[in-house]
Amino acid sequence: MTTSAMDATGETPPEAPPFVWTAKYTGALFVLCLAQLIESLDITVVNVALPAIQSDVGFSDNTLQWVVSAYTVLFGGFLLLGGRSGDLFGKRRVFTTGIAVFAVASLVTGVATSAGLLTTGRALQGLSAAFVSPMTLAMIGVIFPEGKARNKAFGVWGTTTGISTSAGVILGGLFTSGPGWRWIFFINLPIALLLLWGAKRYLPADGERTSAKGFDILGAILVTAGTSLAVYACVQTQDHAWGSTRTLSLLFIALLLLIAFVAYEAKVAKQPLVVFSIFRSRAVSGANVVAVFVGASLLAMFYCLSLYEQQVLGYSALKTGLSYLPLTGMLTACAFLAPALIPRIGIRAVILLGSLIATAGLIMFARITPSGGIWNDVILPSLIVSPGLALTFIPMSMAAVTGVAPEHMGFASGMANVTRTLGSAIGLAVIATLAATKTADKVASGQNVIDATSSGFTLGFAVCACLMAGAAVASLLLPGKPKEQVAS
């Protein structure tokens, strides 16, 4: 964050001492990145375990999607409230409370013997994650000073977030094929204990609690209801078409709630939940637009790839998980490309470059065939997509909180997560529907199921490529090297 050249007395303040990367900073970054990893992992870690969960717990074909959707709906719906809560009540306090609830929810989910109890546990996981995830990004922005130290910290955090989707598929395959799918959730318990200990030791303590009288309760209800309903309307489109009365009605109600929220925040609320002034920053507003396109493309890509490998190529859950290792390894290896390039060419240029590279990789995925092989159809495109994701996701996350004052970091990071999550929900719903519709049309025309399914995923990857190209266009909204402080 920029500082004034003079303090209130008109005298030039002393220069800040040079940053020293001590064990305290390393420990704080480890805690925040580990928390972000387990929260993000739990969105995708169940994908390859769904058949086993359905068999053991008794989900029907129509309700199985709620193993994923229960988490996603609550996570997306409460992100903005979660981020702002940290600003008002203390970031470490909200972080540790969220981790504790997440641990309890993981235990409930792991021991569940009925579909209802498992769905409840997943919903509680998503709810608690909505309060933890914004705190990880916000506290990095507060703990690390602007410059090389913060860029490095954001690079590690962004890599952790970026690899979580592929790592989730890998771990899901390993646990499902090994000790069983329940360990997908049990493993969260010792990690949560480690995080609670690490938070107390390494994260800065909060100041005094903000009075509950200053909390915008009506605004919180409106935005949470609106975003939750919007995410829900999107994730249920595989059962209820986009043009159905049910879906259109839900989306219309969600839109009305969000319009009412904006009007209330802008005209009525004495202490609004939303800090509208941060959107005067081109960095913040541009990053949120990019996040919609990246989120829509990324989650749908993993969805199509996982199902293509299992349903078309006939891979096991374990082999599908292991096939993500090259992508994860390359993404990790490219983690610090973005922080190194940003000081030289700016955030906008890095995101533009990364999204174009990722688009090229997705175009390669769109060339899959029913008789494809793991090298040409899976690994080679993965090695192209992964550096593109590293150059896109990390600076996008950095831009979302660039120049934002510490007291508004929680809201800014929560907002970035909201836009990415809404993009993911909408993108996955649209692409899954398009792929399923094309598959059904091909089967109806007499094509065999394997070829028809492959055609559906080809269309899915092509749409993912178009969305990532949209991220490249949206990156032009960003300034080259944003420096301004906003919402101070």
Query: For position 298, what pLDDT does the model report?
Result: 85
d(CA 293, CA 423): 6
103-140 per-position pLDDT tens digit: 999 999 999 999 899 999 999 999 999 899 889 888 88
Q: Where do the domains of the chain lie, and which CATH numbers do they carry? A: 23-204+271-477 (1.20.1250.20), 216-270 (no CATH)
**Per-residue pLDDT tens digits for 451-488:** 998 999 999 999 999 999 999 999 998 886 544 444 44
- Listed in sequence order, the residues at least 6 apart from 266 whose beta carbon sits closer than 8 Å to its beta carbon are 272, 276
> What is the rounded distance in angstroms from the CA atom of residue 291 to the CA atom of residue 273?
21
More confident residue, 448 or 413: 448
Residue 352 has pLDDT above 80, yes or no: yes
Rounded CA separation 325/169 (Å):
10
pLDDT at position 1 over 70: no
The whole model's pTM is what? 0.76
Nearest alpha carbon to residue 450 among 397, 372, 334: 372
Task: Reduce the DSSP state of residue 212 to 3 states and report it.
Answer: helix
**Residue 77 reports pLDDT greater than 80:** no
DSSP one-letter string for 395-421: HHHHHHHTTB-GGGHHHHHHHHHHHHH
Closest alpha carbon to 293 in 471, 484, 89, 445:
471
Band the pLDDT of 198: cuts 50, 70, 90: very high
* pLDDT > 90: percent of the chain: 28
